[in-house]
Structure 1
Amino acid sequence: MSPDILLKIWGATLDTLYMVAAAGLIGSLIGLPIGIFLATSGKGELFPAPTINRIVGLIVNAARSTPFIILVVAIIPFTRLLTGTSIGTKAAIVPLTIATIPFVARLVEAAIREIDKGLIEAARAMGATPMQIVFKVLLAEARPALTMALTMTAVSLIGYSAMVGAVGGGGLGDLGIRYGYQRFMPDVMLVVVIVLIVLVQLVQSAGDGLARHFDRRSRKN
């Protein structure tokens, strides 16, 4: 394999990391409060708004049920409006972020709903406000589950970032398609697959380690 190809693989790896980090950060910042709202806005909960809860839930479900590759194509005008282009790593961040938001929201909702209701009632009995309960009880107790949720999100984003290469999104997926498939260079495709596997393993191992750390801290408290 030539040095030029190796440089392209290195550059594509950095592009993939950039896309995953940017989309993961923005999508999580938006998806986290949506997930908290979904978990706390049902009837009789901290912020009762069952009608809005159902509407938001329907929107989240609709976004999650849309196949990613269709989403990428469907929002090309929106992507071009935001970034001025529909190809490249910067443009790819838009559909990746939109796909991340509902994914994170549902995972956060599930993590919070696993918390013992008795803790919430005890905090209410001690006079804690709903916002104090959210930050000091719900988010604190759900740290291990939230860490795993964000880890799962990052792993999924790595796969999505490879998929977006099919429409010129840049990164490892784009390199694998242009060189490994279109130019019949199976060695490039093999290296791309290996790099993606390594990235997933590193992210998963880091997430598992953080989750165990937070779980031990929760038990000590």
Structure 2
Amino acid sequence: MDWSNIDPAEIWQATQDTMSMLGLSLIFTIILGLIIGVLLYLTSSRQLLYLPVFYSILSFVVNILRSVPFIILMIAVMPLTKEIAGTTIGVAGTIPPLVIGAAPFFGRLVETALREVDRGIIEAAQAMGASKWDIVRRVLLRESRPGLIAAITVTAITLVSYTAMSGVIGGGGLGDLALRYGYQRFQTEVMIVTVILLIILVQILQMLGDWLVRRISHK
């Protein structure tokens, strides 16, 4: 292997692009996925806003989006991506499909985390006259914090793999670098470096998430 093929400046730029895609898409995914998860929980059977038709429709849409392989989803939503971001390539063109792909996944994790909250606490809040919004904000979200942080960690790691796949459509980042040099030009050393950097990023995210879960769980 010829390690002289490694361009530190290009590796650094690709790493920055990956971090930008991850950070921006994670923010939007958390916001949208939290809304989806709360709605799924509240409108499900025996919950505060039991709406079976609404729940069935939302659940069906979430299941469809979760079932589509991300690489196919990226191509399928290109027209929408063009409308939202003005481009279908680069960091900006990757954010919409990343969010569309990850938000339903995170929403399901949020729903699961909320279901872990002791129903007795919810009933006690209702008995004290708390509004539905207060129960969501002060009881459900507060009591499910360890589960939500664990869900964010899993979603962030999933987004790392999604950003790598976005290189197929010119999304930039480490995945794009690995595709252009490691695969198309047979520069194995570039592929090795990008894989190592992605592994390090995943490990950092997992350790940070585990630390936050332990810290909050002990409070």
2:5/2:190 contact within 8 Å kept: no
Aligned partner of 2:147 in structure 1 is 145
* d(CA) in 2 for partners of 1:42, 1:89: 36
Tell me which of 131, 134, 141 is aligned to 2:136. 134
* d(CA) in 1 for partners of 2:67, 2:194: 28
1:143/1:214 contact within 8 Å kept: yes
* d(CA) in 1 for partners of 2:214, 2:29: 24
1:120/1:133 contact within 8 Å kept: yes
The answer on 1:34 being equivalent to 2:39 is no
* d(CA) in 2 for partners of 1:159, 1:190: 16
Number of paired residues?
217
Cα deviation for residue 84 of structure 1 reads 2.2
Tell me which of 160, 163, 166 is aligned to 2:162. 160
Aligned partner of 1:101 in structure 2 is 103
Correspondence list, 1:16-165, <5 A? 16-165=18-167
Cα deviation for residue 44 of structure 1 reads 3.4
1:20/1:158 contact within 8 Å kept: yes
Cα deviation for residue 2 of structure 1 reads 4.1
Aligned partner of 2:192 in structure 1 is 190
2:34/2:106 contact within 8 Å kept: yes
Pairwise CA RMSD of aligned residues? Answer: 1.2
* d(CA) in 2 for partners of 1:3, 1:187: 8
Aligned partner of 2:180 in structure 1 is 178
* d(CA) in 2 for partners of 1:44, 1:144: 24
1:127 partner letter: G
Q: Structure 1: where are the runs of 5+ without partners?
A: none
Q: Structure 2: where are the runs of 5+ without partners?
A: none
Aligned partner of 1:210 in structure 2 is 212
Q: Normalising to structure 2: TM-score of the pair? A: 0.96
1:5 partner letter: D
1:28/1:100 contact within 8 Å kept: no
Tell me which of 169, 191, 201 is aligned to 2:203. 201
1:95 partner letter: P
Q: Normalising to structure 1: TM-score of the pair? A: 0.95
Aligned partner of 1:15 in structure 2 is 17
Cα deviation for residue 123 of structure 1 reads 1.2
* d(CA) in 1 for partners of 2:195, 2:28: 26
Q: Residue 7 of structure 2: SS of its match in structure 1?
A: helix
2:30 partner letter: S
Cα deviation for residue 4 of structure 1 reads 6.6
1:20/1:157 contact within 8 Å kept: yes
Q: Residue 218 of structure 2: SS of its match in structure 1?
A: helix
